[in-house]
Amino acid sequence: MTAVTAEDATNVPRAVSRCPVYLPIHLAYLRDGPLEDKDLHRVTAPTSLMLSEVDTLLTRNGCIQRLIDELPDHVVEVPLSGVGHIPMLENAEVVADALRAHLIRVTHPQPRQAR
């Protein structure tokens, strides 16, 4: 059984192709190259990095671990359980719960515990 209906799977490429920022993001990547370590440390806003548990495209070992290793200390890693590459399509409630938790964390900060 799949978490995504055939209709949704068909509509995703159509929606992406009509997204006004899709092409500019790819052009910026071609122009500027990938994020570098120095870029990540410029992130100062409260940030949660939400990672899908079963993403087979952007795998943790294949391409995400380097990014995680270089994140500033204030970034919180948030696992999204049971979802793949497009979690909001597979289980919107998992994503909504993670976003709510992020908003609560940044609007009601708790003292940080030592690592």
Per residue in 3-19, pLDDT tens? 778 888 888 888 888 88
Q: What is the mean pLDDT of residues 20-39?
A: 85
Q: Could you tell me the residue range of the domain that residue 49 belongs to?
A: 34-115
Q: Kindly report, residue by residue over 46-80, the tens digit of the pLDDT.
A: 999 999 999 998 888 888 888 888 888 888 999 99
Question: Are 6 and 57 part of one and the same domain?
Answer: no
**20 and 61 belong to one structural domain:** no
Residues 13 and 63 in one domain: no
- For residues 57 and 68, state if they share a domain: yes
Same-domain status, 73 and 40: yes
Secondary structure, 3-state, 79-114: EECCCCCCHHHHCHHHHHHHHHHHHHHHHCCCCCCC
The chain-wide mean pLDDT, for the chain, equals 87
| Range 69-95 average pLDDT | 91
Whether residues 57 and 39 fall in one domain: yes
pTM of this prediction exceeds 0.85: no
Q: Do 80 and 51 touch, CB atoms closer than 8 A?
A: yes
**How much is the pLDDT for 1?**
47
The tally of domains found in the chain comes to: 2
pLDDT, position 55 = 92
Question: What confidence category does residue 98 fall into, taking pLDDT thresholds of 50, 70 and 90?
Answer: very high
Q: Are 17 and 54 in a shared domain? A: no
Task: Round to whole Å and give the CA distance between 3 and 34.
Answer: 31
Residues 59 and 101 in one domain: yes
Cα 9 to Cα 2, 88, 106, distances in angstroms: 10, 13, 34
Q: How many helices (H) and strands (E) does the chain have?
A: 6, 2
Residues 55 and 98 in one domain: yes
Distance of alpha carbon 74 from the chain centroid: 16
Give the pair of three-digit tokens for residue 76: 């919180």
